[in-house]
Structure 1
Amino acid sequence: MTSLATARTSAELAVGEPRARFRDLLASEWIKLWSLRSTPWSLLGAELVVIAFNVGIAYDHYRYWPTFDREHQAQFIEQKMALWDAFTTNAGMILILCFSAIGALAVVGEYSTGMIRTTFAAVPARRSVMAAKVVVVAGVTTVCGAMVAGASFALTQAVLSARGAGVSIGEPGALRLVVASALLAPLSALVGMAIGTVLRHSASTIVASVVVLLVLPLVVSDQRHWSAVLAHTLPYEAWMRLVQAGQYETLYPWSLGGAWCVYGAWALVAAVITVTAVHLRDQ
């Protein structure tokens, strides 16, 4: 009789208690993300490092500009090589590494502390919780990516403009470079979240993220058709295609539209995995 009464009371409470609204879940995930002291410092550190890489390359060109012959200077300006300094390859790799780790820890951190059990006990709708987490992380990293890409472009072109070699945002390909570099941050974070949701271990998640996002593009080559097709499905190669300055020449070319589709496909699949993988096994 006692058990029956307890069950009845629990059922009545469950019926009477309103379900959590999605905006409440968004607020909860926002608080959890920023309650960690490491979050703002990690984001700030990643932004400063990426910007420093880009500005450093631009300053090198500014510093050694007088040592270039006139033909080299004219070629630099004519081919709009300043766009290469706006967001360098090394800066892109650092951005991928940092933001994939931030996205992964947003998920794995709760698993390692056991907080995820409390979260799912309070809100049994696991997919809604993970969807809110995806929206918050994607939103924050998109803003951070826009700040990094915008600041990098503005600062590098300001440095090069002192030598008459800078370009404006209206230059063909400049806006595409800024947008593609900005969106690389949330894309990397979403991939890190998806891998973290599946593996649920910090070290293995970060290693897997590095392998998927950075190592695979180094393994494949564009010298053979099958390898080029595989390379064209990877986020890093898509970013490289989108930020390509000047004439694009390769053995197996692909379109800008295809590169944008790779961006969208990876982001969508990563978000779906993050939301649905929570039902694969008990927490």
Structure 2
Amino acid sequence: MSTLPLSADGTSERAPEPRPRFSDLIAAEWIKTRSLRSTYWVLALSALAAIAVNVNAVHNDLIYIDRALSLASGSTPVRYDPLGHGLNRIAADLMGLAAASFGAITVFGEFATGMIRTTFSAVPDRRALIMAKVVLVTAITLVLGVIVSTGSFFTVNAMLASRHLGLSIHDPGCTLAVTAYALIAPVCALMGMAFGAVLRHATASITATVGMLFLVPLLFGGDRYKLLKEIGDYLPLQAAGRLAVNPNVPLGMGKYPATITGSWIALGAWALASVIVAVTVVQRRDV
């Protein structure tokens, strides 16, 4: 027969339940994520679509490459950029949008359904809860980015190998480009989480994320104003695109190109700022 400890007035007291470990919070968030079949479909289809866009871009170039090879002499080799075409911007935008939407829904989804009250009742430590979401979302989207980046790189360069235009991962700039391309997904996902925490509404969160990733950069194009161009170069997708430039192929990056170091700092700063915003907002605002 079990007994409960007695309080000063003689009534029994129940021992407080132990606080959940951080690994338990991650496991709980993983159960929530994998219980939604739409998550698998969105992430899987976006990865396949992004790889298909990259592969199709190079496949469409093959006819022009073959024609150039037939006309080129030994002293004038054909110049082709497998990085610029095999890790192209369209696929990066698609991957970033899918990752940002996934990140946003992990936050606003619970607020929209009211499940967040149950979650906070079970786990009063909001900071630990949102950090568990951050860790899980970052891990999942990093896997997505790595699959798209490495899958695209090795596939397109295998297609170009017979034409002696393919690159190896050990060639200058290739590891940097593949790494930066893979990081697009987790950075965009964390930005989506920040917008989801601030706005707590599906349409508003996705619209704000799309605006930040794709519409705001349009305000900072051109080379007329140096300050505007430099700001635009360090927006998330633009910074990742700068890191994916092939150093062996001269490209017109404008009068004020971003630096590699600055682009790395920009990606890290966007990710860190997004995490701080998400944690702070969920910690301080009422449900």
Q: In 2, distance between residues paired with 1:261 and 1:168?
A: 26
User: 2:143 — aligned with what?
Assistant: 143
Q: Deviations over 1:62-83 (max 9, x none)?
A: 23433336349987844x5111
Q: In 1, distance between residues paired with 2:73 and 2:194?
A: 46
Q: In 2, distance between residues paired with 1:24 and 1:230?
A: 41
User: 1:153 — aligned with what?
Assistant: 153
Give the secondary structure class of the aligned counterpart of 2:166. coil
User: 1:110 — aligned with what?
Assistant: 110
Structure 2 contact 194–278 (Cα < 8 Å) conserved = yes
Matched, 1:262 2:266: yes
User: 1:240 — aligned with what?
Assistant: 241
Instruction: Provide structure 2 residue ranges, at least 5 long, that are not aligned to the other structure.
Output: 1-8
Q: Deviations over 1:56-106 (max 9, x none)?
A: 01111123433336349987844x511112211111111111111111111
In structure 2, the CA distance between the partners of 1:12 and 1:277, relative to structure 1 (3 Å rule), is: farther
Structure 1 contact 59–160 (Cα < 8 Å) conserved = no
Matched, 1:277 2:281: yes
1:222 Cα deviation from its structure 2 partner? 4.0
Structure 1 contact 62–163 (Cα < 8 Å) conserved = no
Q: In 1, distance between residues paired with 2:166 and 2:85?
A: 10
Identity %: 39
Structure 2 contact 144–185 (Cα < 8 Å) conserved = yes
User: 1:51 — aligned with what?
Assistant: 51
User: 2:228 — aligned with what?
Assistant: 227
Q: In 2, distance between residues paired with 1:73 and 1:112?
A: 64
Q: Deviations over 1:129-176 (max 9, x none)?
A: 000000000011111111110000011111122322111111111111
Structure 2 contact 220–232 (Cα < 8 Å) conserved = yes
Give the secondary structure class of the aligned counterpart of 2:91. helix
1:256 Cα deviation from its structure 2 partner? 0.3
1:41 Cα deviation from its structure 2 partner? 0.9
Structure 1 contact 222–228 (Cα < 8 Å) conserved = yes
Q: TM-score, normalised by structure 2?
A: 0.89
User: 2:173 — aligned with what?
Assistant: 173
Q: In 2, distance between residues paired with 1:90 and 1:174?
A: 19
Instruction: Provide structure 1 residue ranges, at least 5 long, that are not aligned to the other structure.
Output: 1-7
1:233 Cα deviation from its structure 2 partner? 2.8
Q: TM-score, normalised by structure 1?
A: 0.90
CA RMSD of aligned residues (A): 2.1
How many pairs does the alignment contain? 272
In structure 2, the CA distance between the partners of 1:30 and 1:269, relative to structure 1 (3 Å rule), is: same
Structure 1 segment 204-223 matched on structure 2, within 5 A = 204-223=204-223
2:159 maps to a residue whose letter is: V
Q: In 1, distance between residues paired with 2:185 and 2:260?
A: 19
Q: In 2, distance between residues paired with 1:50 and 1:73?
A: 35
Structure 1 segment 22-101 matched on structure 2, within 5 A = 22-68=22-68, 70-71=71-72, 77-78=78-79, 80-101=80-101
Q: In 2, distance between residues paired with 1:213 and 1:52?
A: 22
2:284 maps to a residue whose letter is: L
User: 2:3 — aligned with what?
Assistant: none
Give the secondary structure class of the aligned counterpart of 1:16. coil
Larger deviation, residues 69-78 vs 260-269: 69-78
In structure 2, the CA distance between the partners of 1:178 and 1:110, relative to structure 1 (3 Å rule), is: same
Q: In 1, distance between residues paired with 2:201 and 2:192?
A: 12
Structure 2 contact 101–189 (Cα < 8 Å) conserved = yes
1:247 Cα deviation from its structure 2 partner? 3.6
Q: In 2, distance between residues paired with 1:222 and 1:62?
A: 31
Structure 1 contact 65–73 (Cα < 8 Å) conserved = no
More helix by share: 1
1:243 maps to a residue whose letter is: A
Q: In 2, distance between residues paired with 1:71 and 1:265?
A: 46
2:150 maps to a residue whose letter is: G
Q: In 1, distance between residues paired with 2:240 and 2:115?
A: 35
Structure 2 contact 72–78 (Cα < 8 Å) conserved = no
